[in-house]
Amino acid sequence: MSFEFTIDVTDGRARSGRLDTPHGALETPVFAPVGTQATVKAMRPTDLRDLGATLILSNTYHLYLRPGDELIHDLGGLHRFMGWDGPILTDSGGFQVFSLSDTRRIDEDGVTFKSHLDGSSHRFTPEASIRIQENLGADIIMMFDECPPPNDYEYVKQSLARTHAWAERCLAAKTRPDQALFGIVQGGVFRDLREESARYLIDLALPGYAIGGLAVGETKAEMAQVLDWLEPILPREKPRYLMGVGAPEDLVNGVLRGIDIFDCVLPTRIARNGAALVPGGRINLRNAQYTADTTPIDPHCDCYACATFSRAYLRHLVLANEILASILLTTHNLRFLLRLMEDLRKAIRKGTLAEYAKRFLQNYEHQMTIDE
């Protein structure tokens, strides 16, 4: 089963194109809502379709622990299990495992860790990660890698050798032709290590390349610099995926630097905390200033929440801890980012991306931002 990536238009380093998968095509650049446990929190699959979502990310670590990848396989795979017939991407479980710093042990073969659910002991190796992802059946799967602290050169260098060895083992373990295995470029904030990692993975002739280890503590400037280093090195004919990045300004800056795929929990997570994305930043609906505010979250947004409800009503739902608050704010936040991606694709096709990005970022930076 072939995966075909086509670039239709370029504007500077940005690209607008199409990625064909066994479960449909993606227009790129694309933002993927995160459905960690086979669900995007507070959203039905039909709601996601209506908002314009085309790709969903699910989490290998969490689904392995609950309900179990073998059960999902026996029930027909992740698409059928979660009622989503579009493309799905699964991460390798590496980021979550390495986040368990107090309960995991790394060696050259893999990682032993304790479940955050019940403390039981488990082990991930490159082969295990691929086996789990093949059971889940996502269209795009990721190599098992180590996500190290970005600023410790000596540790990142040692980690990189391990990640590259694991990449080859993942490639050897893969058996399903209907899944595209992406490599993950690591290397912290260090140019020589990032370039070494990119070139090593390019030699494996993979169908796509992810950039990992960002949005984990480095500055925005450092993130942009890493993308600037990698853009001329990564194969132009292959999709590029910036993992775990989804703040609006980061999406714009990523697209400017040739990124095709993004994912992030930000829009759903801040929704559950009463915050909404707006063109100037974000607003916290818990604030008293919205008590009698009859305007929608964003007068220019076409989502159901903005077309129907006032900020005052949404604030009431947030303070009352009503489930509908999470549903409506998640609806808006996802639509905000999906509209942003639509606008970025249109700007690339028109050759006006630089102007669009300048306007967006100036507005985003200079208006009031939000008290979390």
Q: Locate 213 and state its tokens.
A: 């280890």
Given 11, 91, 145, 250, the catalytic residue: 91
Contacts of 187 (CB under 8 A, 6+ apart): 156, 160, 193, 194, 195, 196, 197, 213, 226
Task: Please give the Cα distance from 283 to 133 (Å, whole number).
Answer: 37
What secondary structure letter does DSSP report for 112?
E
Buried b or exposed e, range 206-243, using 16+ CB within 10 angstroms: bbbbbbbbbbbebeeeebbbbbebbbeebeeebbbbbb
What φ, ψ does residue 5 adopt, rounded to 5°?
A: -115, 125
The string of DSSP letters for 189-219 reads T-HHHHHHHHHHHHTTT-S-EEE-S-SSS--
Cβ 274 vs Cβ 295: under 8 Å: no
> Would you call 263 a catalytic residue per the annotation?
yes
Given 69, 139, 145, 263, the catalytic residue: 263
Task: Please give the Cα distance from 283 to 367 (Å, whole number).
Answer: 11
Burial class (CB in 10 A: 0-12, 13-18, 19+), 186: buried
* Strand-strand pairing, 88-90 and 56-58: parallel
Catalytic residue IDs: 91, 263
